[in-house]
Amino acid sequence: MSRTQPNIIVTGTPGVGKTTHCEMLAERTGLRHVSVNHIVKDKECHEGWDDEFGCWIVDEDKLLDAMEDEAKAGGCIIDWHACDLFPESWIDLVVVLRVDSSTLYDRLSARKYPEAKLQENIDSEIMQVLLQEARDSYDEEMVVELQSNTSDEMDSNVDRIEQWVTQWRKDNAE
Q: Is the CB of 16 or the CB of 63 nearer to ligand DAT?
A: 16
Q: Is the CB of 19 or the CB of 172 nearer to ligand DAT?
A: 19
Q: Where in 86-125 is the site for ligand DAT (CB under 6 A)? A: 107
Q: Is the CB of 109 or the CB of 151 nearer to ligand DAT?
A: 151
Sole window of 25-33, 117-125, 148-156, 163-171 interacting with ligand DAT (rule: CB under 6 A): 148-156
Find the shortest distance in angstroms from Cβ 65 to ligand DAT: 24
SS (H, E, C) the chain: CCCCCCCEEEECCCCCCHHHHHHHHHHHHCCEEEEHHHHHHHCCCEEEEECCCCEEEECHHHHHHHHHHHHHHCCEEEECCCCCCCCHHHCCEEEEEECCHHHHHHHHHHCCCCHHHHHHHHHHHHCCHHHHHHHHHCCHHHEEEEECCCHHHHHHHHHHHHHHHHHHHHHCCC
Residue 76 · residue 31 · CB < 8 Å: yes
Does position 146 interact with ligand DAT (CB under 6 A)? The reply is no
Find the shortest distance in angstroms from Cβ 96 to ligand DAT: 11
Build a one-symbol-per-residue string for 16-55: x at contacts with ligand DAT by CB under 6 A, - elsewhere. Answer: xxxxx-----------------------------------
Residues that bind ligand DAT (CB under 6 A): 12, 14-20, 107, 148-151, 153-154
